[in-house]
């Protein structure tokens, strides 16, 4: 669902967010018009209605398989795919027995580790003077950070790093305007 929400144009999100109670029928109609002609929305509806992959279609083996794939991606530094696999595992992981709840808890911890990996990698790149990579990683970390305090802290660190970079002879850093390209549109910014 988060992936679908991330694909809604910013102008439409802003229009809905800024609408008054009187504007809501019009702005919501705009969202419906957008979604009715948007193939990823139709695919998500099919997936939600399909008993094999729907929210009720839990499968421990599939969850464990996705978790393993996520672990491999994480260890190789492929954080975007690791996040995607952990999220997929959470979708199909059952929560019936005590053992299954431990699986779900582990998956949430793994996802949190992936989300913080960009921040840690950004800090490591900064210490080595790799400012372009630092800004890219911290920009991803800022997008994934859920709290405003965390976002402000990352922005503050990015400003310090940009100031450091500007005081050296390194070439200027170009901000990534569309960080979703880095992530391959595979992030779920928040799933619970």
pLDDT tens digit at each of 192 positions of the chain? 667 777 788 888 888 888 888 887 888 888 888 888 888 888 877 776 665 555 556 788 899 999 999 999 999 989 889 988 998 898 888 876 566 678 888 888 888 888 788 889 998 998 898 888 999 999 888 887 777 888 899 999 999 888 888 877 545 444 444 444 445 444 444 444
- Surface-to-core class of residue 82, CB atoms within 10 Å of its CB (0-12 exposed, 13-18 middle, 19+ buried): buried
* Side-chain half-sphere CA neighbours of 26 within 13 A: 7
| φ/ψ (deg, to 5) at 186 | -110, 5
Contact 187, 7 (CB under 8 A): no
* Side-chain half-sphere CA neighbours of 44 within 13 A: 13
pTM of the model: 0.52
- Distance between CA atoms of residues 20 and 18, nearest Å: 7
């Amino acid at each position: 669902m988060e992936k679908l929400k991330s694909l809604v144009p910013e102008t439409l999100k802003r229009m809905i967010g800024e609408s008054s109670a009187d504007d809501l029928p019009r702005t919501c109609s705009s969202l419906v018009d957008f979604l009715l002609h948007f193939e990823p929305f139709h695919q998500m509806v099919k997936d939600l209605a399909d008993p094999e992959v729907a929210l009720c279609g839990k499968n421990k083996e599939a969850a464990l398989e996705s978790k393993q794939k996520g672990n491999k991606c994480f260890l190789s530094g492929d954080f975007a795919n690791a996040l995607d696999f952990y999220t997929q595992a959470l979708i199909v992981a059952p929560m019936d027995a005590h053992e299954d709840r431990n699986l779900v808890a582990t998956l949430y911890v793994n996802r949190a580790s992936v989300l913080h990996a960009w921040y840690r990698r950004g800090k490591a790149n900064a210490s080595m003077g790799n400012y372009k990579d630092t800004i890219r990683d911290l920009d991803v970390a800022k997008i994934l950070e859920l709290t405003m305090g965390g976002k402000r802290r990352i922005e503050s660190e990015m400003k310090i790093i940009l100031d450091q970079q500007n005081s050296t002879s390194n070439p200027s850093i170009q901000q990534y305007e569309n960080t979703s390209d880095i992530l391959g549109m595979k992030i779920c910014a928040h799933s619970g």
